[in-house]
Amino acid sequence: MTRPAQHLLRVPLSKLRPTQLTVGMAEVRLKRERWAGLKPKARRNLLESHWFPAVRGPGDLHFIVDHHHLGRALHEEAVERVWVLQLADLSELAGDTFWRVMEFHRWAHPFDERGRRRDCDRIPEKLSALRDDPYRSLAGFVREAGGFAKDTEPFTEFLWADFFRARIPVKSLVGVGEPMAAAALARAVELARDQVARYLPGWHGAQ
């Protein structure tokens, strides 16, 4: 593996490859609403300050390892180019070898919308093909509500999504006129602060 000095590249958004199977579409919609409310200068500032960490992979394509929700939202808002922070160059690898190395470094999360592990070849080739996991949205909203702290480790909110998946019925997540049902969000915040969740990254109890 080649690990060059990290550097920035401006890349067509449509060329970015995901490293996971799902996003929370309620969270994506909220990001789109926030983008729509920004003036042109604020939009430029957001794009300049939000870099997509990525690994250069097969076909010289960049596989992003974070910010999938923002990427999907910007794609749906017809943004053409974004900044990529290249973390490593694995372009000499292919197929299973590439994905094994990606998983070793925790740069891939091949789990579906039910929390089931899948083969890495099921990861879509485009951000637009990412599937909806409503529990991933719930995890994001719980973090924003102070239910747990943001953690620097990758894909931690998917662990929280699986935690909520086992405890909150999916039908209760749908809110009328709101991104997430208020009752479900309140229950999730309560669970996140309980001792039963203390093994999860970012847990801080009832502080």
36: domain CATH number?
3.90.1530.10
Average pLDDT across the chain, whole number: 93
Model confidence at 6: pLDDT above 80 = no
Classify residue 94: in a domain, yes or no: yes
Residue 142 contacts residue 189 (beta carbons within 8 Å): yes
Helices assigned H by DSSP within the chain: 25-36, 40-49, 68-76, 95-104, 134-144, 156-165, 182-192
Last residue of some domain: 132, 159, 185? 132
Same domain, 57 and 120: yes
Residue 204 included in any domain: no
Tell me which residue range forms the domain holding 156. Answer: 134-197
C-alpha torsion 195→198→202→204, nearest 10: 40
Report which DSSP code applies to 99.
Answer: H
- Whether residue 205 lies inside any domain: the answer is no
**Are residues 56 and 13 located together in one domain of the fold?**
yes
Residues 141, 179 share a domain: yes
> pLDDT (tens digit, 9 = 90+) per residue, 82-137?
999 999 999 999 999 999 999 999 999 999 999 999 999 999 999 999 999 999 99
Give yes or no for a contact between 136 and 23, defined as CB atoms under 8 angstroms apart.
yes
The reply to whether 64 and 149 lie within a common domain is no
* Cross-strand bridge partners of residue 89: 2, 56
Residues 139-156 have a mean pLDDT of: 92
As for how many domains the chain has, the answer is 2
* 38 & 126 share domain: yes
Confidence label for 154 from pLDDT (cuts 50, 70 and 90): confident
Query: For 162, how many CA atoms within 13 A lie in the half-sphere containing its CB?
Result: 12
For 131, the enclosing helix (H) or strand (E) is strand 131-132
Short-list 45, 53, 51, CA closest to 17:
53
Q: Angle CA(112)–CA(191)–CA(184) in degrees, nearest 5? A: 70
Q: At 151, which CATH number?
A: 1.10.8.10
Measured between alpha carbons, how far is 19 from 125 in angstroms, rounded to an integer?
Answer: 9
pLDDT at 177 exceeding the cut of 80: no
- pLDDT above 90 for 205: no
Instruction: Establish if 123 belongs to a structural domain.
Output: yes
Q: Are 152 and 65 in contact (CB under 8 A)?
A: no
